[in-house]
Structure 1
């Protein structure tokens, strides 16, 4: 009678993913954010993996976690393996010919730049469905199911537009402003995503150091734009986002000075995507027709 010995138990893929993410990102909380689980779940997965290994992968300290020599030695191979797995998954999706393209982008870019261009994209690419997720930070495409990233960045991807900034406000308010010194007498609106915009503009426009704009702070750029349209104050406008409002005269630039930031509006995807895939076609459309579209009326 044949004997079937029990097979050695394999490590759980979720535990290996938890280890790789925590080791690469330097902590359980960052790994939890990337994998969409709680830090407690990451901790439990790694403890389970360490128990099966019979050796620790992390040293727990009051300031966080640090890789043990075993963990540090293991990370490069697991990082490469999950990179290859991510690329294989993307190739499988391309070969299956899905017509859904998942784009991760900043909320302001989604509302002011991408959304107005979607009607023409759909008309020119019938049958392709565009799914948009608004995120504050770019995701790691090798570890997520997004196809494209569209963010202001100074390193990644193809440049679609420079990030040119300058103060904007409603026409009625602009009538009261003759020089940047008048910013001391009106509310200056802030967006928490770009709190340093005022400082960047003042520095590049060579304005006096004693100008220190102060005013309401908004958690979303869209809210700050709405308040600027309502005449509540002066906002630093991003030209590539607010060009339609400027073209229609709903917002005006009371001063001539502009500043160009190191970052730019950039689009990127994982390398190796099939030229016939929907994600590659949308990428090509956005880098060509998308960035040269006339500003929506």
Structure 2
């Protein structure tokens, strides 16, 4: 064999062997199945032997392919780890943070300037996305995610557990019936989360069996949309206190009834275990924990009367 290694062909072979399918390998590599097939054919022609047996529902390794596959899999895994290490050196003073748009807008972004003031040598990038982070593929250092805390293989730290509050525009409540109990909220249009579950759970937690009435009303994918709808007087929204704080402080919204209820999920800091050893990542984790603790001590705003 020549001195130049056919890396593209070897990668196509390894992914196909790992996944047992040309189509799946193509999706993993971001190319067409035809391109993967061509690379494998070039490798087989170069070696003068077959590496796969083509079957109706995929491919299986020949004895020759099976003997080479484990070593190549380890080799490409080591290459990826080495590349990640080099990338961490090249961007070791850049900190990329991913979180969902509502949390970024209402909680993180208004505070992140304080971290930059404490660490002016760290370049901060905030990416707002609802997609799950693939730390192996995406160049993300830290993710702040809303969930149950099950992130296998990753370093995970609990950040905060928000509560749900019913909020509405002052004008809507001023012109409508008084709200003195959770059941009174049913006299208004209810703005729903995407699952139409939060209102039913909140009412049930406060002793109200509302039936189908708790699930009626327009639904919104994100708390930011719920807040905007509530701000224009479309109904009462049940949202996280961390998301509503700015609108409550400005007076655009008021608490319809001061009956907070713990949300089903908490916010977690998630990162690769090796990334936590970087000083800027650990500095951010320490800082955001302190900010969350301080935020939790802020007294609740007064409910509307």
1:101/1:201 CA distance change after superposition, 3 Å: same
SS of residue in 2 equivalent to 1:111: helix
Deviates more, 1:5-14 or 1:204-213: 5-14
Q: How much does 1:134 deviate?
A: 1.9
Q: How much does 1:57 deviate?
A: 8.9
Q: How much does 1:101 deviate?
A: 1.2
1:139-158 aligned at under 5 Å gives the runs 139-154=133-148, 155-156=150-151, 157-158=156-157
Q: What residue is the counterpart of 1:205 in the other structure?
A: 206
Deviates more, 1:68-77 or 1:274-283: 68-77
Q: How much does 1:86 deviate?
A: 5.2
Inter-partner Cα distance in structure 1 for 2:159 and 2:112: 16
Give yes or no for contact 2:167–2:256 (8 Å, CA) kept in 1. Answer: yes
Inter-partner Cα distance in structure 1 for 2:202 and 2:67: 46
Inter-partner Cα distance in structure 1 for 2:68 and 2:242: 44
Give yes or no for contact 1:187–1:213 (8 Å, CA) kept in 2. Answer: no
Cα deviation 1:152-203 (Å, max 9, x = unaligned): 02124211110321321122333433433344432222343x5432333234
Inter-partner Cα distance in structure 2 for 1:92 and 1:119: 28
TM-score by length of 2: 0.71
1:208/1:280 CA distance change after superposition, 3 Å: same
Indicate the RMSD between aligned Cα atoms, in angstroms.
4.1
Q: What residue is the counterpart of 2:107 in the other structure?
A: 113
1:106/1:55 CA distance change after superposition, 3 Å: same
1:119/1:77 CA distance change after superposition, 3 Å: farther
Give yes or no for contact 2:19–2:25 (8 Å, CA) kept in 1. Answer: no
Match of 2:259 among 248, 252, 257: 257
Q: Which structure has the larger Rg? A: 2
Cα deviation 1:33-79 (Å, max 9, x = unaligned): xx7x5xxx35445444654564269975xxxxx89689999999888
Match of 2:131 among 134, 137, 142: 137
1:1-297 aligned at under 5 Å gives the runs 5=2, 9-12=6-9, 15=12, 23=19, 28=24, 37=30, 41=31, 43-44=33-34, 46-48=36-38, 51=41, 52=43, 54-55=51-52, 60=57, 87-96=81-90, 98-154=92-148, 155-156=150-151, 157-175=156-174, 176=177, 177-192=179-194, 195-210=196-211, 211-273=213-275, 275-289=277-291, 291-293=293-295
SS of residue in 1 equivalent to 2:257: coil
Cα deviation 1:79-105 (Å, max 9, x = unaligned): 877765555444334434632211111
Q: How much does 1:141 deviate?
A: 0.9
